Amino acid sequence: MARMLQRYDDRERMNHWFIALMFVLAGLSGLAFFHPSLFFLSHLFGGGSWARILHPFMGVLMVLSFLGLAAKLWRANVLVAGDREWKKHMGDMLRGKKASLPPVGKYNYGQKMVFWVMLVSLLVLLVTGIMFWRPWFAPYFPIDLLRVAALLHSIAAVALIAATIVHVYAALWVKGTTRAMTRGTVSEDWARLNHALWHKEVTGGR
Ligand code: HEM
């Protein structure tokens, strides 16, 4: 039986799946207000009024729990010199020619970019969303600023959805990755193949 390496602890995994749940709920209720053709989605939340009441709370919970996870993982997502080399070989990754990719640490360049896009878009969603959260905060801002905030809120939502699609696709596409977030462990072969420097770090090069 292959030896397993710990990649996430229980709290990180529970936090991650809570973020994913809030992403789906805040996303579906938000899309209901995005365009009239999507308003039918509000029925999932008990109608327009309930979707409107619940959406900001689910959004805030998503951002706060993401910040909790990010506080633990941001250091591993800082770009390093080797990432530039990996970026040049990104095509090889997509073609499945992993042997020509330079060794990477806990996360590769693609994962790191997804992380930062998620963080920035969530912060924009939080700040702009609070600004036009009626009746609490909106009266404090001029209407023109609220219009800009609403536009930025939509742009950030599209960026977050796009980053999450890439994230889920990559997690399913690279065989053996999903168990990192379901069981918390990955096989030693997976680590050696996909994150050689991290493998060396956690095993001491054995
Ligand atoms: C069904 C949906 C999702 C699946 C299947 C999924 C799967 C995974 C997997 C397998 C990992 C571990 C990757 C690794 O260690 O190499 C991971 C990490 C992570 N996921 Fe998800 N995820 C989902 C949704 C989300 C959402 C909605 C967010 C945030 C909005 C998110 C944020 C993260 C973050 C921040 C990490 C840590 C990676 C890093 O720091 O670069 N995930 N996910």
Residue nearest to atom 20 of ligand 1 (CA): 16
**CA atoms of 153 and 163, how far apart (whole Å):** 15
Ligand 1 centroid–CA 148 distance in Å is 30
pLDDT band at 1 (very low <50, low <70, confident <90, very high): low
* Cβ-proximal residues to 25 (8 Å cutoff; 6+ apart), any chain: 45, 54, 58
Q: For ligand 1, is residue 180 a contact (CB within 6 Å)?
A: yes
Q: What pLDDT was estimated at residue 2?
A: 78
Instruction: Measure 133 CA to ligand 1 centroid, in angstroms.
Output: 28
122 burial level (CB within 10 Å; 0-12, 13-18, 19+): buried
Residue with tokens 């591993």: 76
What integer pLDDT is reported at residue 100 of this predicted model?
84
Interval 1-26 mean pLDDT:
96
With tokens 């959805």, the residue in question is 161
Left (φ > 0), alpha (ψ -120 to 50) or beta: where does 103 sit? Answer: beta
Q: What is the pLDDT confidence band of residue 108, given thresholds at 50, 70 and 90?
A: very high
Task: Give residue 106's pLDDT band: very low, low, confident or very high (50, 70, 90).
Answer: very high
Q: Is the CB of 115 under 6 A from ligand 1?
A: yes
Rg (CA), the chain: 20
Place of tokens 């990755």: 177
Measure the CA dihedral 69/80/166/72, to 10°. 0
The ranges assigned to domains in the chain are 4-74+83-203
Task: Report the pLDDT averaged over residues 120-142.
Answer: 97
What architecture (CATH level 2) is domain 4-74+83-203? Up-down Bundle (1.20)
Q: Cite the active site residues.
A: 167
Q: Helix, strand, coil: what percent of the chain each, to 5? A: 75, 5, 20
The DSSP secondary-structure symbol of 142 reads -
Ligand 1 binding pocket includes 174 (Cβ within 6 Å): no
> What SS3 state is found at 6?
strand
Return the H-helix or E-strand segment holding 11: helix 10-34
